[in-house]
């Protein structure tokens, strides 16, 4: 009945190493162009990446050979491990020869200045909350590496497998609903957040931002995701849980609290394994 969600991020493609990047054969007229909030004069040859999720997006473009440095949390073999998004190692980032640093987290001005003085521009990408947000990330990366002329085609091609996987996952859930529970006291208000991927995959859903057991029975979700102080045994001990569809059909899934708050490619892989 109980499915344990993998806590490790599932990659969409085989792991690659860090290799010397090759020059892009891009027409000069493709630049300059805007990628996000940056004006790009020419395609970068080396980048540093502090987010494993962004590594996988770059791999979807076939750009893994441009990755010169990765975070300590990355499973990619690389000469330059450059700390984490919260604690970046600026000296290592500069030493790697990267022209840009990709991150999902912003940095203090002192860190940005130190990197800028070392020839590294910071490209902070807001964590997406929808598939449209994610597509915009693909568009920005495509512009950076391929210029304004080729970017639309390159972005569509790289995004296509993700789009297809999302549609297949939606077809699995149909009219299903979800409920996210993270506290034993269902009436206890919790910080609400965007469910990102869950909101697009399921027809409806909510979280226990203060509900009663009667309301739990009335919602009767198809899938229940649990975390925090709530565990399977406690959930099943509640009288209201006895006739829940998710309980009867074994659709109780344990995961980390923030796993669904964003919208990254790895979540499609994980959910495809969990939702059967």
Token pair 């297949």 is at which residue? 168
| Angle between helical axes of 52-60 and 131-173 (0-180°, round to 10) | 80
pLDDT, residue 21, reads 39
Q: Are strands 177-181 and 223-226 parallel, antiparallel or unpaired?
A: parallel
CATH numbers and ranges of domains, the chain: 7-167 (3.40.50.1980), 174-274 (3.40.50.1980)
Token pair 């962004």 is at which residue? 54
Average pLDDT of the residues in 152-157:
96
Helix or strand or coil: residue 140? helix
15 vs 190 pLDDT, higher one: 190
Q: What average pLDDT does the chain have?
A: 84
pLDDT, residue 274, reads 81
pLDDT at 41 over 60: yes
pLDDT at 200 over 70: yes
Residue 85 CA: distances (Å) to CA of 67, 71, 166, 245:
16, 8, 28, 40
pLDDT, residue 12, reads 38
pLDDT, residue 28, reads 64
* Beta pairing partners, 40: 33
Average pLDDT of the residues in 82-104:
95
Residue 190: band (very low, low, confident or very high) from pLDDT cuts 50, 70, 90: low
28 vs 110 pLDDT, higher one: 110
- % of residues, the chain, pLDDT over 70: 88
pLDDT, residue 220, reads 92
Using an 8 Å Cβ cutoff, are 242 and 214 in contact?
Answer: no
* Beta pairing partners, 81: 70
With CA atoms as reference, report the closest residue to 181 among 251, 83, 272: 251
- Residue 237: left (phi > 0), alpha (psi -120 to 50), or beta? alpha
58 sits in which H/E element: helix 52-60
pTM score: 0.82
pLDDT, residue 272, reads 85
């Amino acid at each position: 009945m109980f499915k344990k969600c993998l806590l490790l991020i599932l990659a969409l493609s085989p792991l690659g190493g860090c290799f010397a990047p090759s020059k892009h054969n891009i027409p000069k007229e493709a630049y300059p162009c805007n990628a996000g909030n940056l004006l790009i004069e020419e395609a970068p040859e080396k980048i540093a990446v502090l987010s494993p999720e962004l590594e996988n997006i770059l791999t979807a473009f076939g750009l893994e050979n441009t990755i010169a440095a990765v975070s300590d949390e990355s499973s990619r073999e690389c000469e330059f491990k450059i700390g984490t998004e919260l604690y970046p190692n600026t000296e290592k980032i500069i030493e790697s020869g990267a022209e840009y640093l990709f991150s999902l987290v912003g940095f203090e001005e002192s860190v940005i200045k130190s990197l800028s003085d070392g020839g590294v521009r910071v490209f902070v990408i807001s964590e997406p909350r929808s598939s449209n947000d994610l597509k915009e990330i693909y568009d920005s990366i495509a512009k950076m590496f391929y210029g304004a002329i080729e970017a639309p085609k390159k972005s569509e091609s790289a995004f296509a497998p993700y789009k297809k996987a999302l549609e297949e996952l939606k077809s699995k859930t149909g009219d299903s609903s979800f409920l996210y529970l993270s506290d034993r006291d269902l009436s206890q208000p919790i910080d609400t957040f965007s469910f990102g991927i869950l909101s697009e995959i399921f027809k409806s859903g909510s979280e226990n931002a203060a509900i009663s057991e009667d309301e739990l029975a009335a919602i009767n979700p198809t899938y229940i995701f649990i975390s925090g102080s709530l565990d399977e045994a406690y959930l099943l001990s509640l009288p209201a849980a006895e006739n829940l569809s998710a309980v009867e059909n074994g659709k109780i899934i344990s995961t980390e609290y923030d796993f669904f708050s964003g919208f990254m490619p790895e979540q499609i892989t994980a959910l495809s394994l969990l939702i059967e």
